């Protein structure tokens, strides 16, 4: 007896065919079809394209940038930052994008087709590049998914699995890469095994492979849309069918049948009902116009039958919403962001949804994008800079330990979010640097910009922005500014003294007035007593 209903083999579960396949066998049989259908869905289905766009924008934003804080010398750090900036502009081996644009394209390719590759391409010193190296992005199709124990150019004891070469210890040694994209007409050979002349063996240290393994031991990745492609197709068909039904529902046709002959059988241009001349359409077919408020009398034997087109239906919106709630959940993107439907969502609910989505996105950033692509690019940059003699070996080791800074998240509620972070810093729960870094900025750069702004504001006599002015700034003191500050302080001191003197005078005047008021009150009291005595002497 099964202890789990899902493991039963009765009537309810008889149609559930769940083969016991390994992580790679399950992928190999369907990978190319999944890729092709995922790309086709992205080209033709707005919801699929939206999901891919949202993931790409969320994971990359403007850029994921490295920070070389382990370079202790500020001058050398700035020089290496400048060298990196030059490399960013020249990084693309295809000469189309800069390094940060390549990040966007790489992540999109991974989300859409399940994986992507990058190849290090060495360049000559005479090419005039910042460092003698560029990066070439490769689609998933560029590494064929095939297995081989013997192959032209394959070293003894090595084997090819899923297009990746392993040694007898299971270490990745190389990738077998097409010279040209197979979708552009490269012959794949017989039986699914690529022609050896169409492939080139690329050492593993010159490649990076970005994908999200779904099972332990998986060698290739599947598209993000894979779990929902069948559902997406059905939704798209339903949407198209509803649109066609809407078109048909707008058709209004009346058919007139008659048992009487026309007034003039030889003249097709006269109406059978009225005997008047018929209106003729572009194909010379007579039309009987319908006009508002028309009451048309029919001849004996004539009847009118109206077409009954299908109704457009009222469940379209509910069905589409319910369906897309499932498809967006299957890809990890909130329905509200993928579809743009926030009509019935409160601010608090939306914040919870976005924060959970960002948590998932941060996981993918730090576990996939940064280690598999960004860190590899920094290592290649450091190696090329070392070979070119632009950094030392010690600096190379510091560069490869760069800190990566993803593009910061936008504030959902700017005032509340900033106040919350300020309280965290004030109460010692976190540092200013962590808050600045969370926004994708460099704390050193931000602090230097603040110092420059404060110095400029002081020189112009403007109020210093930000926190209270700190006269212990490391900036060189300006004697003229110090003189001005002393004069202002002296004038302020004199003003305070005058205010104090005026306050003392007012205080003395108030005391004198109070004394006079008390004396007058006493005098009035005595006067009233004398008057009472004069009126009634016996009362005393």
3-state DSSP assignment of residue 185: coil
Indicate left, alpha or beta for 309 from its phi (over 0: left) and psi (-120 to 50: alpha).
beta
158 contacts 173 by C-beta, under 8 angstroms: yes
Cα 302 from Cα 258, distance rounded (Å) = 4
Residue with tokens 């004398």: 530
Which tokens go with 266?
């030889």
Paired residues of 280 in beta bridges: 286
Cα 505 from Cα 515, distance rounded (Å) = 15
Q: What percent of the chain has pLDDT over 70?
A: 84
3-state SS of 108-152 is HHHHHHCEEEEEEEECCHHHCCCCCEEEEEEEHHHCCCCCECCCC
Residue with tokens 């077919």: 285
- Please check the confidence at residue 76 and state whether its pLDDT lies above 90: yes
182 contacts 144 by C-beta, under 8 angstroms: yes
3-state DSSP assignment of residue 174: strand
Which tokens go with 311?
């109704």
Q: What is the pLDDT of residue 480?
A: 56
115 contacts 210 by C-beta, under 8 angstroms: yes
Average pLDDT over residues 149-169: 94
Cα 307 from Cα 251, distance rounded (Å) = 8
Cα first-last separation, the chain: 118
Q: What is the pLDDT of residue 268?
A: 55
- Please check the confidence at residue 188 and state whether its pLDDT lies above 70: no
43 contacts 61 by C-beta, under 8 angstroms: no
pLDDT: which is higher, 55 or 470: 55
pLDDT in tens, 313-368: 678 888 899 999 999 999 999 999 999 888 888 888 888 999 999 999 999 999 99
- Please check the confidence at residue 138 and state whether its pLDDT lies above 50: yes
Q: What percent of the chain has pLDDT over 90?
A: 49
Average pLDDT over residues 162-187: 90
Q: What is the pLDDT of residue 538?
A: 61
- Please check the confidence at residue 283 and state whether its pLDDT lies above 70: no
- Please check the confidence at residue 131 and state whether its pLDDT lies above 70: yes
pTM of the prediction?
0.74
Q: What is the pLDDT of residue 417?
A: 83
Q: What is the pLDDT of residue 472?
A: 47
């Amino acid at each position: 007896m099964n202890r789990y209903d899902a493991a039963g083999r009765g009537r309810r579960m008889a149609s559930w065919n769940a083969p016991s396949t390994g992580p790679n066998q399950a992928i190999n049989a369907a990978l190319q079809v999944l890729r092709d259908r995922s790309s086709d869905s992205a080209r033709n289905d707005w919801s699929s394209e939206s999901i891919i766009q949202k993931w790409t924008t969320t994971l990359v934003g403007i850029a994921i940038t490295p920070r070389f804080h382990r370079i202790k010398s500020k001058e050398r750090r700035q020089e290496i930052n400048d060298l990196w900036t030059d490399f960013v502009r020249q990084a693309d081996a295809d000469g189309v994008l800069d390094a940060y644009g390549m990040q966007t394209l790489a992540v999109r390719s991974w989300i859409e087709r399940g994986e992507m590759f990058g190849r290090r391409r060495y360049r000559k010193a005479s090419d005039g590049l910042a460092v003698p190296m560029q990066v070439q992005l490769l689609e998933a199709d560029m590494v064929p998914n095939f297995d081989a124990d013997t192959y032209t150019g394959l070293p003894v004891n090595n084997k090819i699995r899923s297009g990746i070469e392993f040694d007898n210890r299971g270490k990745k040694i190389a990738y077998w890469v097409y010279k040209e994209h197979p979708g552009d007409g490269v012959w794949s050979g017989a039986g699914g095994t690529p022609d050896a002349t169409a492939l080139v063996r690329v050492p593993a240290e010159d490649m990076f492979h970005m994908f999200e393994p779904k099972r332990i031991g998986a060698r290739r990745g599947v598209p993000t849309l894979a779990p929902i492609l069948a559902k997406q197709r059905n939704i798209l068909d339903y949407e198209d069918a509803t649109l066609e039904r809407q078109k048909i529902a707008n058709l209004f046709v009346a058919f007139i049948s008659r048992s009487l002959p026309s007034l003039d059988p030889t003249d097709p241009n006269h109406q059978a009902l009225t005997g008047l001349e018929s209106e003729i359409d572009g194909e010379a077919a007579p039309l009987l116009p319908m006009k508002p408020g028309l009451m048309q009398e029919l001849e004996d034997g004539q009847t009118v039958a109206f077409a009954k087109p299908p109704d457009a239906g009222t469940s379209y919106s509910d069905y589409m919403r319910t369906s897309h709630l499932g498809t967006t959940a299957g890809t990890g993107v909130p329905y509200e962001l993928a579809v743009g439907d926030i009509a019935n969502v409160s601010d608090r609910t939306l914040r919870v949804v976005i924060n959970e989505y960002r948590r998932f996105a941060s996981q993918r950033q730090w576990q996939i994008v940064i280690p598999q692509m960004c860190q590899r690019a920094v290592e290649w940059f450091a190696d090329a800079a070392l070979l070119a003699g632009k950094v030392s070996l010690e600096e190379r080791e510091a560069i490869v330990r760069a800190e990566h800074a993803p593009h910061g998240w936008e504030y959902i509620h700017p005032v509340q979010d900033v106040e919350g972070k300020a309280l965290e810093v004030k109460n010692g729960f976190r540092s200013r640097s962590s808050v600045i870094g969370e926004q994708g900025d460099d704390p050193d750069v931000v602090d230097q910009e603040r110092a420059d702004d404060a110095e400029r504001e002081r020189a112009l006599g403007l109020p210093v922005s930000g926190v209270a002015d700190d006269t212990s700034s490391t900036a060189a003191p300006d004697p003229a500014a110090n003189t001005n500050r002393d004069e202002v302080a002296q004038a302020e001191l004199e003003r305070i003294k005058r205010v104090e003197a005026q306050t003392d005078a007012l205080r003395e005047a108030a005391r004198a007035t109070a004394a006079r008021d008390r004396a007058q009150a006493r005098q009035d009291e005595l006067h009233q007593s004398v008057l009472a005595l004069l009126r009634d002497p016996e009362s005393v």
